[in-house]
Structure 1
């Protein structure tokens, strides 16, 4: 009687490669025509993917939850008397306070992501999380608008690296088709922060005091302490890359590396050294720039909701108590969280992103038409559900699209940083979209958001047609002729200009 010994994932891989020899981290993963040189066992992949989901996602999701809460809780603090206590008498003082955050947030976006690549996400993400947790605590002690602006500027400086850093970090672990859903598992914390932040603020405000702090000051102090505690823990739970993961076997490490590398045309290393040409091609990539403008327009809505949802609800239900107004902001965000996961899940199984960007924009357009067409409180409250069910899912879809359209690790790091930087320019616009003089119906703010959604629909549709056109043009090229006379280093530096490259809609 013979016994069949089950093969490990690497043995399966080596057999599929017809005895190519040991897996070499610096070996080419594709041929000169862009075809993968690896064949993977689907069962081994599924087991590895489940393990990655359990060990990689939870830490970054929790950190991003409190990152967004520490940023958006100023809207809750506003309802609890922040403007009164800081003597913010100017009609635009609150908008100025919001804008200061975005100045540093935009400026430090790309530098932070390059630091993330150089230092490693396993150290960089926990470090900046600890810093903005401490800054959030310090916000509880500001005494006037000037001090508040200073603290918010520093907060933006540290928070700038979170969204691009985590997006880049996850691209080290997951395939192109898998990334949108995994990004959604941490970006879903943005709408959940709106829901959970409202609940948490309501609970905190029921306390008589916290130490020597009262009212809105307690919100910043307590939430900042929670953030700092999670950041310290993350130094031990966040693994930098597959090679350093103690919870992966050697076979699983090699499988994780080769899965990612097999989708990178002509690249020999998963984590390449920073190269000026690759940085430029990552920034100037036409699909990256298109996605960046889409994310810019999308963030006008997302950040506008984050900062002004409590104010908008207060104008719809002016007779409710402060705690009731905080609680009414929760249901739309819960619906938004659901859609933020469901649509990227569909994207994962279809390996499509652009079409979902096109479809979701139409719900945003519908929501703002309702805001502009009716003054009825119920209609306008229902409209917020249309907005949250669609605008939040564009974050994971947009960043996944950016990651899918880049080749090397270097170009991906700057491309994601560029996408998020443009997005936060939209956040800066959002801070001035809802002015007190425009209330209570805010036709200017709602009109601006409607125009932004329409621009997204136009941009995403035109980009889809261009990608298909350019892929057909590339199909006509002679790859051997295009690469003739080039060294391996020159071929690797071609990025999206490589003749074997195809856009992935």
Structure 2
């Protein structure tokens, strides 16, 4: 698929649009009022089920596949591949982000051109197959090219999902959907520790003649005899089974993923998601809200010029600082619980889940009230403060119970902030290609946060991991500072519009969300 229907795109013209004319408003109202209030809610619920839930479950497997290294390490991979030597573990976590960050801007362009129905399930299936391959490595350095390719394949997924969701919903209906999308994924990532512990029990399955490398006595199966060995190491089954699960989800995604709203009435695999009237209803809601439902023709210079907007990078910095904390927790929490707090292997894997349950509850509560009250930044500030309380408890207390309570606060603050920042950015920009670039730069900055988060907790810093705690506390403090600066900038711009001054984002009447 190329960029869909150029006639519609040309009709939009330049992004700098003046106030809606009466005929525009009448057209929007007619397309919306073609359905009763009950019918409108039914259409939106159908979109939620197909779009949000499909993307959420694909994000589940994405998170599991990129962050399962910490779980595999405590399951025996660290011993079998000798990852405790030097910075080997940090290296294999780090290299993923090199390709993941730099390929995101072109990936969102490809998504817009190919369409999400083909692009997203295809890359998901490809990285699922790759994840299976992780279960068959024999040397630690073999992980490096696999992690680099995983970054290539996953580069377009999260920004693609964030972009696609923002194309379907008006500004003040978006955060609840972002929250459901992210919380299902993060919850699944948390419970993947329990799931992985189950997969570890498969270490009695399979057989092989090789000694070592997971086919003989290993950390996961230290009593395995020499000679013809009774099973593959449990940590290998973690990768193999999660890869199989990813492939299954991807195949389902080929059927359930939906296209952009203006093309949702077109047939795919012999099925239609919406009727033409229902598709027009969705597009009218977007145009009435911000008048950017259709993509203008792609121009590389104009696309890159959107990067001159300072707030694009401020939002990127916010997201990168947030993901510095989320990735640090995701990669190292099982190791901190095991080596820093002294829990058993089983406990360190299972105790990952409860903090993410609390994070999911808080995340959705903030999304609900954020959409209801039309506010975003106050919740980001609250999460920054929570992180500044939780991280010192995790790092500086000598009481294991208090440290684990700090894990709850830090995990909640960091993860609840993700949909807050995603939505705040989406609420304050206009234009399809600017939205595509901003989604890529935002999530790309999140990848840079992942680079930082993957190296700040070093094995030599156990059991308190002070450098990692200082780094993540600094990130939380900067989140507060940048949010306050953006609030001041947006408040001034809104006041200017109220006084009849320059329009925001080229649209008369458009105001920033604080």
Place the TM-score, normalised by the shorter chain, in its bin.
Answer: 0.7 to 0.9
Corresponding residue for residue 114 of structure 1: 109
Q: Contact (CA 8 Å) 2:52, 2:180: kept in 1 or not?
A: yes
**Are the counterparts in 1 of residues 338 and 344 from structure 2 also a CA contact under 8 Å?**
no
Stretch of structure 1 that moved more, 81-90 or 380-389: 81-90
Whole-Å separation in 2 of the counterparts to 1:496 and 1:276: 19
Seen in structure 2, the aligned counterparts of structure 1 residues 287 and 31 have a Cα distance that, compared at 3 Å, is closer
State the 1:458 CA deviation: 0.8
Moved more, 349-358 or 176-185: 349-358
Contact 2:328/2:450, CA 8 A, preserved across alignment: yes
Task: Give the 3 Å change call, closer, same or farther, for CA 453–48 of structure 1 in structure 2.
Answer: same
Alignment of 1:22-421 (within 5 A): 26=11, 32-33=18-19, 37=25, 38-39=28-29, 40-41=32-33, 42-212=37-207, 213-242=232-261, 243-245=263-265, 246-265=272-291, 267=292, 270-318=294-342, 320-421=343-444
| Pair 1:210–1:186, CA change in 2 (3 A) | farther
Distance change >3 Å, CA 421–CA 24, structure 1 → 2: closer
Find the aligned partners of 1:403 and 1:365 in 2 and give their Cα distance. Answer: 26
Q: CA deviation at 1:236?
A: 1.3
Residues 271-323 of structure 1: CA distance to partner in whole angstroms, max 9, x if unpaired?
Answer: 322233542353233322211101111111000011001011113542x4311
Change beyond 3 A, Cα 1:285–1:431: same
What stretches of structure 2 of length at least 5 have no aligned partner?
Answer: 1-7, 208-231, 266-271
CA contact (8 A) 1:122 1:238 kept: yes
| Residue-pair matches, total | 466
Is the CA contact (8 Å cut-off) linking 2:258 and 2:273 kept in structure 1? no
Structure 1 unmatched runs, 5+: 1-22, 483-494
Q: Secondary structure at the match of 2:316?
A: helix
- Mapped contact 2:340–2:462 kept (Cα < 8 A): no
- Which is further off, 422-431 or 362-371? 362-371
Aligned partners of 1:470, 1:297: CA distance in 2, in Å? 25
Task: Find the aligned partners of 1:401 and 1:502 in 2 and give their Cα distance.
Answer: 13
* C-alpha spacing 1:82/1:104, structure 2 compared with 1 (3 Å): same
CA distance in 2, matches of 1:236, 1:472: 47
User: What TM-score, normalized by structure 1, do the two folds share?
Assistant: 0.87
What does 1:347-496 correspond to in 2, within 5 Å? 347-477=370-500, 496=505
Answer yes or no: is the 8 Å Cα contact 1:304–1:427 preserved in 2: yes
Contact 1:30 1:264 in 2 (8 A): no
Question: CA separation in 1, counterparts of 2:194 and 2:307?
Answer: 40
After superposition, give the CA deviation of every residue in 1:307-340 in whole Å (9 maximum; x if it has no partner).
001011113542x431122111111111112222
In structure 2, distance between residues paired with 1:440 and 1:351? 43
Per-residue deviation at 1:358? 1.4
1:491 corresponding residue in structure 2 = none
Check the 8 A contact 1:288/1:405 in 2, yes or no: no
Q: Is the 8 A contact 1:275 1:410 kept in 2?
A: no
Partners of 1:478 and 1:300 in 2: how far apart?
Answer: 38
Pairwise CA distance, 1:432 = 1.1
Q: Which moved more, 1:383-392 or 1:62-71?
A: 383-392
Seen in structure 2, the aligned counterparts of structure 1 residues 431 and 477 have a Cα distance that, compared at 3 Å, is same
CA contact (8 A) 1:308 1:434 kept: yes
Q: Measure how far apart 1:352 and its partner are.
A: 1.6
**How far did residue 210 of structure 1 move?**
4.3
User: Under a length normalisation based on structure 2, what TM-score does the superposition of the two structures give?
Assistant: 0.85
Alpha carbons of structure 1 residues 24 and 300: separation in structure 2 relative to 1, 3 Å: closer
The alpha-carbon deviation at position 499 of structure 1 amounts to 5.6
